[in-house]
Amino acid sequence: MLLLHRAVVSALRQACRFRPPPSRLCIQACSTNESFQPQRPSLNFSGDNSSTRGWRIMGALLGFGTALAYHDHRCRASQESPPLYTKEEVYSHRSPETGIWVTLGSEVFDVTEFVELHPGGPSKLMLAAGGPLEPFWALYAIHNQPHVYELLAQYKIGELKPEDSAPPTLETSDPYAHDPMRHPALKVNSQRPFNAEPPPELLTENYITPNPIFFTRNHLPVPNLDPDTYRLHIVGPPGGQSLSLSLCDLYMFPKHEVTVTLQCAGNRRSEMTQVKEVRGLEWRTGAISTARWAGARLCDVLAQAGHQLSEKEAHVCFEGLDSDPTGTAYGASIPLARAMDPEAEVLLAYEMNGQPLPRDHGFPVRVVVPGVVGARHVKWLGRVSVEPEESYSHWQRRDYKGFSPSVDWDTVDFDSAPSIQELPIQSAITEPRDGETIESGEVIVKGYAWSGGGRAVIRVDVSLDGGLTWHAADLDAEKQPPRKAWAWRLWQLQASVPAGQKELNIVCKAVDDSYNVQPDTVAPIWNLRGVLSNAWHRVHVHVTS
């Protein structure tokens, strides 16, 4: 509030001595940077109501005086040569100790004093620390208002050097050179191939995960495919007819839509690493996301090619168009019985949240297998066939399998374990963060819960004392049909902090409609690949008096 008072007083003082310009040409002449004009992002995801009210209150406080001060600020800025900074210099200012800088277009701002006043909370603004604001403002359209730009103008300290304002060039010899741009909020686990997850405070902001922050799991470079020449090859049965389908051909099949949560088998692997070293990416709680998918049902396409259910065991094998330097493509498979079941709702998806699939998520076509581990949702789909055995792909036969804690890399026999298909019950806490300091009084705990195979989450239990006592969390109102609960449940608990308590050991566990419940500790389910990590999730926070 002191900062707001300072801004309002300063604005009003400048307004009192302001003299009207002779014409609107003054405003245009003073605008030295077109990038500062309000932008209209193509991806609009509104924030919560509290953030909206916060911005409206702030805009009302700043009022006309701030608008005039902003004009005066820009006019004076145009008459001076602003300091120039490199992107590296901006990136080095991303903590309270160094100062918190951000950029918008080619302009640089020091928002250190504003972080604590940010209506969406300090943690949201800190996600952009040391980098551009645009990707985050694209997620929250509430920022696209004049008073927000006016407020930001007070914190301008300079501009980016011209060479840093231009997009970087890429080395064409690099197999990853043409990978798509990614949202800076994503927490990167590996760059090549690219694997990243959204931060927990953004993960459960929306029931449907915005495309830019949907977790990304790539095994190989992202192919750059031409939708006009793309063809999906469906191998027909003996005596049947193989199909070569263009995107337009796929559009001719009945369009089916379904909301599905995808989860990587390695979600929460980092907790297994704390017990004993494992091999794999250090996923935290964010290797899971939810989208509304649309496309042709796999069963309809297979039937068109002449396939039908068989009494003998059979598998539908998928092959992607991503490949390594040897030409080996990513592949996986699911049982034919699931693929041919209309109630299983397996899709050849070409839309994600009402838009064409982003490149990182399989453009132009991917498989979506509701209730099944993400490894079977093959992206950039190029070939589908029905075989008597499951896919011979490395990722089907030599990965994504669970083993006893006693098995190590000297004794493991991958042929002895089945490939992961349906995943077990899962839940995690997204707010507050581990190590965070909260105020006494009440605490709000948020998170997600999901179970594989279409099993519905019926309850989430939350403890503030490490599991000694429990509270039932409130589940979101999204309805889930029996045996087709393909998407997660977001949950929340508002509870009183016991008087005098200096710390909380918050725990959550979920229960599905088969009464499967998460195990209490990690050690008994530890395995050498760090998959299927679904023990009680624990967060330790400090309490201020």
16 is catalytic: no
* pTM strictly above 0.85: no
Cβ burial 7-17 (10 Å sphere, 16+ → b, else e): bbeebeebbee
Q: Which of 217, 256, 361, 537 is catalytic?
A: 217
- DSSP secondary structure string, 226-245? -TTT--EEEPPPTTS--EEE
Strand order in the sheet with 99-104: 84-85, 156-160, 107-110, 99-104, 94-95
400 is catalytic: yes
Residue 270: CATH number of its domain: 3.90.420.10
Burial of 437 (0-12, 13-18, 19+ CB in 10 A): exposed
| 459 within some domain | yes
| 484 within some domain | yes
Q: Which of 140, 350, 400, 448 is catalytic?
A: 400
Are 214 and 319 contained in the same domain? yes
315 is catalytic: no
pLDDT digits (tens, 9 = 90+) for 18-56: 333 333 323 233 333 333 333 433 334 344 444 444 444
| 30 within some domain | no
The pLDDT of 467-473, averaged and rounded, is: 98
| CA–CA distance, 506 with 473 (Å, rounded to integer) | 13
Are 538 and 460 contained in the same domain? yes
> How does residue 167 score in pLDDT terms, banded at 50, 70 and 90?
low
Domain that holds residue 290: 187-398
| 520 within some domain | yes
73 is catalytic: no
Residues in the chain: 545
Are 260 and 302 contained in the same domain? yes
- In three-state secondary structure terms, 360 is helix
pLDDT digits (tens, 9 = 90+) for 381-436: 999 999 999 999 999 999 999 999 999 999 999 999 999 999 999 999 999 999 99
pLDDT digits (tens, 9 = 90+) for 365-392: 999 999 999 999 999 999 999 999 999 9
Q: What total of structural domains would you count in the chain?
A: 3
Q: Which amino acid is at 202?
A: L
**510, 517 Cβ separation under 8 angstroms:** yes
The pLDDT of 157-165, averaged and rounded, is: 89
Lowest mean pLDDT among 144-153, 296-305, 519-528: 144-153
The pLDDT of 65-94, averaged and rounded, is: 71
| 344 within some domain | yes
| 45 within some domain | no
The 10 Å Cβ neighbour count of residue 240 is: 15
118 is catalytic: yes
Q: Which of 56, 118, 182, 433 is catalytic?
A: 118
Q: Which of 73, 143, 529, 537 is catalytic?
A: 143
Q: Which positions ≥6 away from 171 have C-beta within 8 Å?
A: 177
> How does residue 146 score in pLDDT terms, banded at 50, 70 and 90?
confident
Burial of 319 (0-12, 13-18, 19+ CB in 10 A): buried
